[in-house]
């Protein structure tokens, strides 16, 4: 059966006319679809925004950063691999520094639990971190005042320290604190620099956490034996990040004498792995949102089917007349199917607009990492595709009913 372009144009015009003539009913009917589409697009917009913020954060954090931690291999009993075998030792870090050409910078990082004293303040629970001068590069944190750590500080085990602003405030040091003296673990340290604070909402490091940094060689002295240390490193660029990780793994296995086939007693991690994990999580949430939408679209579809059945019975005489002037069953079927699809697309359109508005609203929430919330084009496309599919699926039965009406009986209908 052939239908002309003019037929399609008129059928769509008629469908729009029907929706307009029954405005209120149309909106109520497509409420299920409106809500479904609006909530998904809003969730997708929020996720998109969150993803953009998180990735940006990772970027600013340094996508080329690599960490090495002590780690007990899976499925190996505790007593087989004692702590001392896993623990990273300073000489191992020096081996890594020498044996990994793809690294730009590397530093051990160790946190020690000691009290910090100034002239009129005693602080507990403040973190004192031992670092090499390379730390400035691996963390991309420079000094605002004073100077950075130098290799001489490290080599000579100088009693110097760097503070962040929160620590300066907490210790009530004069001015920016540089040139003051504080007591760390009972030893007198000179404050040589004020280190910049990195704002990271997501990783729990804020301007309000006090930080004190001392040369690593000095930190070792203040530590009990068998202390914990991790390694932070920076690959030369993003391209060699993978290579750098492999170099680290090989070097570690070599210096620890791990036999081929035996598991690693350490763990190498890179930021991009976290990015992958986050992306997987975001995809998961999107899938769940899509599932919820599927259900609400189903409910919406039943509403559409109901209203289309009402429409068919209200317009029985009209259907009879259309058949009398030459409409084939296929033409009537197509006309009602199009009407259901147009109604669903209308619901989808309102839903997308609501989702878009919600997305705009989200960007104004203070403090939330949703500055970049927006409904992506693919979500708009998918919303319309789903709406149309619901129209076809749930409009088919009423349309079939209309197409099968007997013209004479339809015209006799009251």
Partner 1 sequence: MIRIKGLRKVYRVGEEQIHALRGLDLQIGSNEMVAVMGVSGSGKSTLMNIIGCLDRPSAGSYELDSKSVAKMTANQLALVRNEKVGFVFQSFELLARQTALENVELPLIYSLERGLTSAERRRRALEALDRVRLTDRVTHRPNQLSGGQRQRVAIARAILNRPAILMADEPTGNLDSVTSHEIMEIFRKLHQDGQTVLIVTHENDIAAYCQRVVRLKDGQILSDLSIAEDTAGRAVR
Binding site for partner 1 (CB under 8 A): 1-2, 4, 6-7, 10-11, 17, 21, 317-318, 320-331, 407-408, 411
Separation of alpha carbons 222 and 255, rounded Å: 26
Minimum CB separation of residue 20 from partner 1 in Å reads: 10
Q: Cβ closer to partner 1: 150 or 328? A: 328
Minimum CB separation of residue 318 from partner 1 in Å reads: 6
Residues 398, 335 contacting (CB under 8 angstroms): no
Q: Cβ closer to partner 1: 99 or 329? A: 329
Minimum CB separation of residue 36 from partner 1 in Å reads: 30
Minimum CB separation of residue 39 from partner 1 in Å reads: 34
Q: Cβ closer to partner 1: 90 or 407? A: 407
Q: Cβ closer to partner 1: 155 or 406? A: 406
Q: Cβ closer to partner 1: 217 or 313? A: 313
Q: Cβ closer to partner 1: 141 or 322? A: 322
Minimum CB separation of residue 53 from partner 1 in Å reads: 51
Minimum CB separation of residue 3 from partner 1 in Å reads: 9
Minimum CB separation of residue 404 from partner 1 in Å reads: 10
CA separation, residue 27 to residues 163, 184, 357 (Å):
61, 70, 18
> Cβ-count burial of 413 within 10 angstroms (0-12 exposed, 13-18 middle, 19+ buried)?
middle
Q: Cβ closer to partner 1: 218 or 332? A: 332
């Amino acid at each position: 059966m052939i239908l002309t372009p003019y037929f399609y144009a008129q059928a769509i015009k008629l469908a729009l006319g029907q929706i307009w003539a029954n405005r209120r009913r149309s909106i109520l009917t497509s409420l299920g679809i409106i809500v479904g589409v609006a909530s998904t697009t809003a969730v997708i917009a929020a996720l998109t925004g969150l993803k953009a913020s998180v990735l940006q954060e990772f970027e600013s954090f340094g996508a080329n950063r690599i960490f090495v931690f002590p780690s007990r291999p899976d499925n190996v009993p505790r007593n087989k691999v004692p702590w001392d075998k896993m623990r990273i030792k300073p000489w191992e870090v020096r081996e890594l520094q020498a044996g990994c050409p793809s690294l730009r910078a590397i530093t051990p990082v160790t946190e020690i639990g000691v009290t910090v004293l100034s002239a009129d303040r005693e602080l507990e629970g403040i973190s004192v971190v031992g670092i090499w001068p390379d730390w400035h590069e691996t963390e991309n944190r420079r000094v605002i005042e004073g100077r950075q750590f130098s290799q001489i500080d490290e080599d000579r085990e100088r009693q110097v320290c760097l503070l962040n602003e929160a620590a300066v405030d907490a210790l009530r040091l004069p001015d920016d604190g540089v040139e003051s003296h504080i007591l760390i673990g009972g030893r007198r340290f000179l404050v040589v620099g004020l280190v910049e604070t990195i704002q990271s909402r997501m990783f729990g490091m804020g301007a309000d956490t006090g930080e004190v940094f001392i040369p690593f060689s000095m930190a070792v002295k203040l530590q009990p034996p068998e202390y914990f240390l991790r390694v932070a490193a920076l690959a030369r660029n993003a391209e060699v990040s993978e290579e750098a990780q492999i170099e680290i793994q090989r070097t570690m296995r070599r210096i620890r004498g791990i036999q081929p086939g035996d598991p690693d007693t350490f763990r190498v991690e890179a930021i991009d792995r976290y990015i992958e994990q986050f992306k997987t999580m975001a995809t998961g949430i999107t899938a769940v949102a899509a599932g919820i939408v599927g259900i609400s679209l189903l409910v919406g579809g039943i509403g559409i089917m109901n209203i289309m059945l009402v429409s068919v019975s209200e317009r029985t005489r009209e259907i009879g007349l259309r058949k009398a002037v030459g409409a084939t069953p296929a033409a009537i079927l197509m006309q009602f199917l199009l009407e259901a699809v147009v109604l669903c697309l209308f619901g989808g359109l309102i839903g997308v607009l609501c989702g878009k508005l919600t997305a705009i609203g989200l960007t104004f929430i203070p403090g939330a990492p949703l500055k970049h919330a927006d409904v992506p084009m693919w979500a708009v496309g998918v919303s319309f595709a789903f709406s149309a599919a619901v129209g076809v699926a749930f409009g088919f039965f009423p349309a079939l009913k209309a197409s099968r009406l007997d013209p004479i009986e339809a015209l006799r209908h009251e």
